[in-house]
Amino acid sequence: ISLDDVRTENPAKDDNGLTFRALGQARQPAAHDYAADPLRPQFHYTPYQGWINDPNGLVQFGGRHHLFSQFYPDAPKWGPMHWAHADSPDAVHWRELPVALKPPPPATPADASGIFSGSAVDDDGMLTVAYTRFTDTAAHPGATPETVEIATSKDGVNFAPYDGNPVIAEPPPGSAAGFRDPYLFRDPTDDRWKLAVGSGDGGKGKIHLYASDDLKDWSYSGVLAGGDGTDGAMWECPALFRLGGKWVLLTSVNEGGKSVQQYAVGTYDGQKFTAEKRGVLDGGGDTYAGQVYADDRGRQLMTAWMSDWSAKEPTRVNGWAGAQTVTRELFLRRDGGLGARPVAEVAKLAKGDPVRVGAKTVTGDWRIGRGDTARLQAGIDLKRTGADVVKVRLHASPAEATELRYEKSSGTLTLDTTRSGYGTRDTYTTHAEPDADGVLRLDILVDRSSVEVFTGDGATLTARVYPRYAESTGVEFAATGGSLRLTGAKLTPLGSSWS
């Protein structure tokens, strides 16, 4: 892309008043280039330039993990969507591949038509993706705005759209509020291909279900699941999968300036999903549009967009915006809800000597070490902790910090970004229980502009944070009104996801 294209097709300033930095030529990401950008996460997928949102097409194909992203290469803001593409041998180290799907040439300068979110399956050695073809009706009056198309690839790199597209030419009646984000899966109840499509109608979120034997010819089987209006008017980015003897339906809702991933754990009979337990996956401000795939070890893995539609995205001044979470393994929590932990392969990112401490009593503030690309694993022995509130500070300096607080009496875990630096300032809460031995286990991934918190029982809090100062790399524990008893802690420096 040329700079002239960027300047004529995009305003110099974005909606938040930030000035877009001039963009260079598209190129392969390299660890040393990324290391020079103080706001760029080092072990998370980010676009080399431009904008990304939802992860798409997650699949293990030919042994490699594939990650596609909603992508606009020309400026660090949402625009006509492409599918960026990366793959990985281990779900934590990435290699950029050519853009997999591109939008049609625009009919007018403002034409936002593009390739919206979708998913992938391995159809006996043929990588098949299903996606929403979005047509901007302002530029194409009378067009159907959202249809389902498929494309295939033998080599996992080059994709050919199917000649017979669209495979679903229009939404079923009564789905005016949206018809997008097809999720492909092999249904074990009848051994057929299924497609779940996000929708909404009359202020109530809804998921439509289709069935096929060849991934091309689809028949409508009805509404898979629907909400009552209190849980979103439009359910985006569905994922339906088996976990621990149950079925889980994950959907994303973006309303009133808030974006959440909501889940339901329940049963599925081949046509209808029935919820038994509902909740929010990740209480933080910055996960959305998570997609789930089973790997060859039978794990259900998820990557989500590590941002949301209300995010300030200060990295735009550096020519890019958006990141994907680390790959997470999903599991059922002790209370039957949906939980997550970092995929075990995150351990392969370790680089350099960890700081290890054994059992230790902390009173006041105590710094274990420094790191802005690091993993902190710690056990807090709640039975031997006098303080009601224990704290962990990340990206900490005297001027700022991102603070995690656990209140023993209520089990409330709070992530406070009100003193984090640039970006969204807020407090996020979730509920976490200690493990059976009374120890609250924390596993925290700190990258240059993100914090991902996981507890032993599967609670998660994720937030993008943008420290202002180079000194804000402290990792500290603190206790108020009593002591904090650590069973042990380990701070491991992590390296880059890129070679």
Q: Summarize as ranges the residues that interact with ligand FRU (CB under 6 A).
A: 53-54, 70, 81, 116-117, 132, 180-181, 236-237, 288-289
DSSP for 217-249 reads S-EEEEEEEE--STT-SS-EEEEEEEETTEEEE
Interatomic CA distance for residues 321 and 79, integer angstroms:
12
Comparison of 226 and 421: residue with beta carbon closer to ligand FRU:
226
CB nearer to ligand FRU: give 127 or 148.
Answer: 148
Smaller CB separation from ligand FRU, 145 or 379: 145
d(CA 325, CA 188): 29
Q: How far is the CB of 468 from ligand FRU (least distance, A)?
A: 29
d(C-alpha 309, C-alpha 298), whole Å: 32
User: In terms of CB distance, is 117 or 385 closer to ligand FRU?
Assistant: 117
Sign of CA dihedral 67, 73, 77, 79: negative
CA proximity to 302, closest of 289, 310, 293, 314: 293
- Residue 67's nearest CA partner among 325, 366, 364 is 325
Cβ 189 to ligand FRU shortest distance, Å: 27
Q: Is 54 a catalytic residue?
A: yes
Interatomic CA distance for residues 407 and 259, integer angstroms: 25
Nearer to ligand FRU, 236 or 372 (CB): 236
| Nearer to ligand FRU (CB atom), residue 58 or residue 346 | 58
- What is the nearest approach in angstroms of ligand FRU to the Cβ of residue 462? 15
SS3 5: helix
Residue 464 vs residues 108, 237, 292, 320: alpha-carbon distances, Å: 35, 21, 22, 14
SS3 9: helix
Residue 110 structure tokens: 């403002």
CB 186 within 8 A of CB 222: no
Q: Is the separation of the CB atoms in 378 and 442 below 8 Å?
A: yes
Structure-block tokens of residue 341 = 């932990």
Report the length, in residues, of the chain. 499
Minimum distance, C-beta of residue 293 to ligand FRU, in the bound complex (Å):
17
Q: Of the residues 5, 37, 54, 269, which is catalytic?
A: 54
Q: Shortest Cβ distance from residue 180 to ligand FRU (Å)?
A: 5
Question: Catalytic residues, which ones?
Answer: 54
